[in-house]
Amino acid sequence: MKKLFIASAMMLTSLFSNAGTIGVDVDHVYNKAAYVGGVAHFLRWNDTIDGINYGLSNRTVRYGSNPNSSVASSKLRSSDGWGMWNNFEGSVGKTYNIAGSFDLSPYVGLGYDDGQNGAVDKAYWYGRVGVATGVQIGPGRWNTAITTRVNHEAGHLEHTMWLNNYSIPLNNQISINIRASRGWQNALGIVPKTYEDYTGIGITYKF
């Protein structure tokens, strides 16, 4: 999935880019119902072409094990908890000025969930809808978004996230990201309606 992301981002950048960004973020993630933590890696590419916003993202989460977890042991791998999960998404949207400097950017997307450890029987396609906005605060910009999966079938991961990112520019091309997000999900029947907290840092390069 990461190779697909890199190849797609490089191709789109070489063909269309005029003011795009590419970023890498690393978050600590903790599921508060299952008492299972892990590390999430995000790769992101975004660009605006003729007024239309395009994006690619790749998320990989590797969960650790917790012997005190309340989750049924039959649903977890003894060696690595929930194991590794990966999904790849593409999105398209548009930014609308609402008033003054306040903008809203709704978007729709298509994603592929590779399932736990790439298990073939758990991989599936899904849709995504969301809306984002941002405001300048101090030396940086705070960006926030609400996004949720749609078109999932029974047993597929229901997943909604509130994303928050404070981006501080170091120069005209490089910014440091401070991140704090929350996700709500039904993890394939493992833990109904649980939620996860994400906190981390990252870097964005503007090309």
**Its pTM surpasses 0.75:** yes
Name which of 1, 198, 173, 160 is nearest 86 in CA terms: 1
Per-residue confidence (pLDDT) for residue 116, from 0 to 100: 64
**Residue carrying structure tokens 């003054």:** 100
134 CA to centre of own chain? 17
For residues 142 and 52, what is the distance between their CA atoms, to the nearest angstrom?
21
Name which of 5, 4, 90, 73 is nearest 36 in CA terms: 73
168 CA to centre of own chain? 19
For residues 49 and 110, what is the distance between their CA atoms, to the nearest angstrom?
19
Per-residue confidence in pLDDT tens, the chain, 207 aa: 545 444 444 444 444 555 689 999 999 998 877 778 889 999 999 999 999 999 999 999 887 765 455 444 434 443 445 667 888 999 999 999 999 889 999 999 999 988 765 554 567 889 999 999 999 999 999 999 999 988 666 666 678 999 999 999 999 999 999 999 998 877 555 545 678 899 999 999 998
